[in-house]
Structure 1
Amino acid sequence: MLASVVIPANNESATIERTLVALRSGVGGAAELDVVVVCNGCTDDTAEAARRADPLARVIEVPEPSKTAAVRVGNAATRVFPRVHVDADVELTGAALRLLVAALDDGVLAAAPQRIQPRDGCTRPVRWYYDVWEQLPQVRAGLFGRGVVALSDEGQRRVSALPPMMSDDLVISEVFHPSERRVVEAATVVVHPARTMRALLRRRVRVVTGNAQADADGVRRRDAVTTPRTLLRMIRRQPSLAMRMPFFVAVTLVARWRARAAVRSGDFTTWQRDESSRGGARPRAAKP
């Protein structure tokens, strides 16, 4: 068997079909890919949509709306390695998954694809924010923000030993030395960005809060932190970013200000969910 895939899904009926259909593109049937979808705390028809989209997938339903618990259930349901963790709202083809598995065969413990963020429907300030964000050195080199990470047996053991964290993809990236992880340029994943400034701020508040937790626990490397010097170096290398940089800085500062209450209270569980990239449903807060 090529690999197992674990997909935690909380009220993802609008996205789970495209995720599962993409995964089966370029791979064989159940004998090649063991797909486990863990529907956690769903109040919509995510489970039914998953079964319709991929009859070969195993769909497990758990009452607790927790991504951490869902991943744990998914890991317990399969013994197949490599293991590929996929968010329910991204699009990774089976062909791209093969490239990630090949990278693990080449000796790294964790691999992730190159992200594609379609800007269709995004407001101009949001597009400008992402123009800068995507060029940050740590964003280009890290495994986070891609919605996909492939792990070897040893890589999974290391990740399973981590404490639950809000910014789980950041922590997963940071637990591996740069020599142990790889962004596979030939493999791509479609990650749908926030479309409005309000939605973008919800995402960034969540990220800032998660980063604060990671910093407090000492799990984020110094080179993963964005500094004014980092931004100045980027402008020197790419002068075209100069006009966009004020928007990026403004969003960052507002997100930090809005995250203060959660950080002070130690609230690292409330999940500020962005619905704008899921077809425009009403935004709401869920829990990881």
Structure 2
Amino acid sequence: MAVASVVVPAHNEATSISHNLASLRSGSGPGALDVVVVANGCTDDTARRAREADRDARVIEIARPSKVEAVRVGNAATQVFPRIHLDADIELAGEHALLLLEPLLEGRALAAAPRRDVPRTGCSWPVRWYYAVWERLPQVGTGLFGRGVVAVTEEGQRRLDALPRLMGDDLAMSDAFAADERCIVEEAVAVVRPPRTLPDLVRRRIRIVTGNRQADAASVRRADSRTTPVTLVGLVRAEPRLVGPVVVFAAVHVVATLGARRALRTGDFSTWRRDESSRVAPVVRGQR
């Protein structure tokens, strides 16, 4: 019998879905996870690869390219709790998925997420500098967002179901829980591959800024999830060598904010500006 369900929305993730599903099954034990993959609006063979990679997973195909709709369909397809929401481009080993369940089953939290591993090999220097700052932000350290994985109890899922449909769903999911209702399980690790180029980073940040503003308008964003100039100045004072990276971080934020203006002006919260540079086939050890 499954001890948890995993809902995986996947849109054109053929390059990584096989590897990531195989990783999810590793170390979790036969039948421990009820995995539901919802291939939404795919124009590649994501669904076929998902079925071949995990014959025990249920793969559902829907025509509309919508993460929100894919998550809704996935939630409706399983009644197993706790539930893990996993982005298809995130690598999470099965044993680490099980570690996320412990604080939920013990009643210590309503929501849990793993520690991030953000490998920056192959990224341009502005991208590396940006993430050197981003990973030091207090809210990045304690929030559930930016990990691509959130595990929730049944009560936690009810809270997520009550949220408005938002582009920035991981921030809204994180801010749906107070600090004492969520936790980061340091022993569990999710591999979050960042953009490799500056233009791809800017595209990703435009989407995130747009989603953040939508969350602001819906009044579902907490004040402590925002980055302020005071925070950045504090980072430089603590580590003077970060002055260059902080300048890059601030510049990317300004450009992304300007880029988000059109979407904000027109109310376009559906255009998904994702970067493709982070979606490369993972390198398997022992292969070249």
TM-score (norm 2): 0.95
- Distance in 2 separating the partners of 1:212 and 1:158: 21
Which amino acid letter does the alignment assign opposite residue 149 of structure 1? V
Asked if the contact 1:29/1:56 (under 8 Å) is kept, the reply is: no
Counterpart position of 2:56: 56
Alignment root-mean-square deviation, CA: 1.0
Which amino acid letter does the alignment assign opposite residue 56 of structure 1? D
Which amino acid letter does the alignment assign opposite residue 275 of structure 1? E
Counterpart position of 1:140: 141
The within-5 A match list for 1:158-237 is 158-237=159-238
Partner secondary structure for residue 155 of structure 1: helix
Which amino acid letter does the alignment assign opposite residue 75 of structure 2? N
- Distance in 1 separating the partners of 2:46 and 2:244: 42
The within-5 A match list for 1:1-288 is 1-30=2-31, 32-107=32-107, 108-279=109-280
Asked if the contact 1:113/1:185 (under 8 Å) is kept, the reply is: yes
Unpaired runs of at least 5, structure 1:
281-288
Deviations 1:140-160 (A, max 9, x none): 110000000001010001101
Identity of aligned residues (%): 59
Counterpart position of 1:286: none
- Distance in 1 separating the partners of 2:22 and 2:239: 38
Displacement after TM superposition at 1:33 (Å)? 1.0
- Distance in 2 separating the partners of 1:79 and 1:220: 28
Displacement after TM superposition at 1:239 (Å)? 2.4
Partner secondary structure for residue 242 of structure 1: helix
- Distance in 1 separating the partners of 2:256 and 2:33: 39
Partner secondary structure for residue 278 of structure 2: helix
- Distance in 1 separating the partners of 2:118 and 2:74: 27
Aligned length: 279
Asked if the contact 2:164/2:218 (under 8 Å) is kept, the reply is: no
- Distance in 2 separating the partners of 1:42 and 1:97: 26
- Distance in 2 separating the partners of 1:237 and 1:20: 40
Displacement after TM superposition at 1:15 (Å)? 1.0
Displacement after TM superposition at 1:261 (Å)? 0.9
Partner secondary structure for residue 191 of structure 2: strand
